[in-house]
A and B are shown apart, each in its own frame.
Chain A
């Protein structure tokens, strides 16, 4: 009874905070757009994209080789091969600091932070908007890897045919609504009308209907689209969740460091050094398994979480909680550090 009450209140608090955060970011959406576009104004974004894509391609080709290998060589969890390699994490570690180093440090150095902080938006809205933009660019980094998935999972679409069920009708309508909302928003922007809210809400409802339809049709015998996976799709889902939250953690850390210093380079270096806390444990191979040292290393090191849990389709809640709480704490500290400038 007490436990369920605690969960309920926790859930309600989470919901309220989420709604407030979304509302705040929506209010500062022009800042999100500027921050997001500013990645593309600077050459850093392109350098990061190229290096990251190169790294991903290298890992993918290695994974493919293992998947096609005959004899004793091979790979049980294809995603594990890439996401547990030290090369990948070395590259990964450097990326969030590069994305966040400019956010506050540069604005403070050039004085534009004064313009930002005298605008009629709250400090936390500024921080959340910058965070959202960085997270958006981080997701774009991963977007090209979607093309690897059909090959990695061995997806084959067997047939697409109409099935007369409530679930599939709902899914179809949802899909159309999602697409329609997106198109209306796009055309609206292009024609100079503001359908932002209508477009976003239509897309959200569409997405909900799509997922709901999918859920309803889950246990039916016939489906709208039938496809085979030669490998389990669950690891992809859990890895995606892990990557988004781990990225959020590193980005929030970088954002906080950037709010403390005036120099971009210092911001990047300090953020990288702090990020090492969450990666270094995986390189301490000599720690005896099962001991306190190992437990601590496992608790903190993101590469180990991916190696042991996420890439095997296990949603490690303790790791996700770590990521989310470190991210939230760093964002909170960023807001406070920004606020403290007003009192300086």
Chain B
């Protein structure tokens, strides 16, 4: 569903990601792991069509994000980091607006909005101003937005950041549910998170893919993801020191 090959993005002279290559298959929940500043958000923004890569190729649901951007964006539900929303709008109103922007108007749009609110447990706050919602609810509004068009691919950038433990558990449950119908790429820097929600992971360190595959196979037998991850990160810093 997601095919990324040799993706590179320069901000000026600084390469945020270099030759990133990975695949995500149909209906997998893949964790996108890496320390802060490793290039997770950059990669996701390129996939979602917000940024353009300096070089390389990214194909989402069969559409190249560079040459066929509208079709690619239409097949992605993207939630940016921190989930930006319009605080002055009401929940249902905001989702109506987003549905319209995704080409669903009138009765069809309203049906989709209802379904998305149902799935994200938002029905009881439909008339509330987004600005007055708690962080957890806001995150769910963002999730509901990604589900509106029933896209085959969901790209969620740190959906659990800033949530309290109960909200994290709820969100985790929700993402697990979503994996039954969608291909989900979810970024995080919290390892236990990824271990619990995802069956596969792509680990990105210093702008390059350090490891990818099934979590169970990736981590050496008997080892823990935490140790494995730390070794990857330390290896990277050692390399840069050498260079």
A38 to B89, CA, bound (A): 9
Known contacts A42-B88, A112-B84, A342-B50: does B101 contact A119 (CB below 8 Å)? yes
Instruction: State whether B70 touches A122 (Cβ < 8 A).
Output: yes
**Sample of 27 A–B contacts (CB below 8 Å):** A29-B105, A30-B98, A30-B99, A31-B97, A31-B101, A33-B100, A41-B89, A42-B88, A110-B84, A112-B84, A114-B45, A114-B80, A118-B48, A118-B49, A118-B50, A118-B76, A119-B73, A119-B98, A120-B71, A120-B73, A120-B101, A120-B103, A121-B70, A121-B101, A122-B70, A342-B50, A343-B51
Which residues of chain A have C-beta atoms less than 8 A from B49's C-beta? 117-118
Interface status of A72 (Cβ within 8 A of chain B): no
A110 to B103, CA, bound (A): 24
Interface status of A288 (Cβ within 8 A of chain B): no
Which residues of chain A have C-beta atoms less than 8 A from B86's C-beta? 34, 38, 112
Instruction: State whether A194 touches B105 (Cβ < 8 A).
Output: yes
Known contacts A30-B97, A342-B52: does B106 contact A196 (CB below 8 Å)? yes
Interface status of B82 (Cβ within 8 A of chain A): yes
Instruction: State whether A118 touches B73 (Cβ < 8 A).
Output: yes
Q: How far is the CB of A33 from chain B (nearest CB, A)?
A: 7
Interface status of B102 (Cβ within 8 A of chain A): yes
> Which residues A188-236 have CB closer than 8 A to chain B?
192-194, 196
Instruction: State whether A194 touches B97 (Cβ < 8 A).
Output: no
Instruction: State whether B107 touches A193 (Cβ < 8 A).
Output: yes
Interface status of B110 (Cβ within 8 A of chain A): yes
Which residues of chain A have C-beta atoms less than 8 A from B97's C-beta? 30-31, 33-34
> Which residues A11-34 have CB closer than 8 A to chain B?
27-31, 33-34
Which residues of chain B have C-beta atoms less than 8 A from A193's C-beta? 106-107
> Which residues B74-120 have CB closer than 8 A to chain A?
74, 76, 78, 80, 82, 84-86, 88-89, 96-103, 105-107, 110
Known contacts A118-B78, A192-B107: does B88 contact A29 (CB below 8 Å)? no
A233 to B61, CA, bound (A): 60
In this complex, what residue of A is CB-closest to B81? A111
Given contacts A30-B97, A115-B84, A118-B80, 8 further A-B contacts (CB under 8 A): A30-B96, A30-B105, A34-B97, A38-B86, A42-B88, A115-B80, A120-B74, A342-B50
Which residues of chain B have C-beta atoms less than 8 A from A343's C-beta? 51-52
Interface status of B11 (Cβ within 8 A of chain A): yes
Interface SS majority for chain A: helix
Q: How far is the CB of B93 from chain A (nearest CB, A)?
A: 9
Q: How far is the CB of B231 from chain A (nearest CB, A)?
A: 34
Q: How far is the CB of A232 from chain B (nearest CB, A)?
A: 44
In this complex, what residue of B is CB-closest to A339? B52
Which residues of chain B have C-beta atoms less than 8 A from A344's C-beta? 11, 51
In this complex, what residue of A is CB-closest to B103? A120
In this complex, what residue of A is CB-closest to B52? A342
In this complex, what residue of B is CB-closest to A42? B88
A34 to B145, CA, bound (A): 16
Instruction: State whether B50 touches A114 (Cβ < 8 A).
Output: yes
Q: How far is the CB of A114 from chain B (nearest CB, A)?
A: 5
Known contacts A342-B50, A343-B52: does B105 contact A196 (CB below 8 Å)? yes
Counting chain B CB atoms within 10 Å of each CB, the highest count among A29, A30, A111 belongs to A30
Q: How far is the CB of B104 from chain A (nearest CB, A)?
A: 9
Instruction: State whether A111 touches B105 (Cβ < 8 A).
Output: no
Counting chain B CB atoms within 10 Å of each CB, the highest count among A29, A42, A121, A193 belongs to A121
Instruction: State whether B110 touches A30 (Cβ < 8 A).
Output: no
Q: How far is the CB of A341 from chain B (nearest CB, A)?
A: 8
Interface string of A331-344 (1 = CB under 8 A from B): 00000000000111
In this complex, what residue of A is CB-closest to B51? A342
> Which residues B120-143 have CB closer than 8 A to chain A?
none
Instruction: State whether B99 touches A120 (Cβ < 8 A).
Output: no
Minimum-distance CB pairs A-B, first 5: A30-B100, A194-B106, A111-B84, A120-B74, A41-B88
Which residues of chain A have C-beta atoms less than 8 A from B78's C-beta? 115, 118
Q: How far is the CB of B77 from chain A (nearest CB, A)?
A: 10
Q: How far is the CB of A113 from chain B (nearest CB, A)?
A: 8
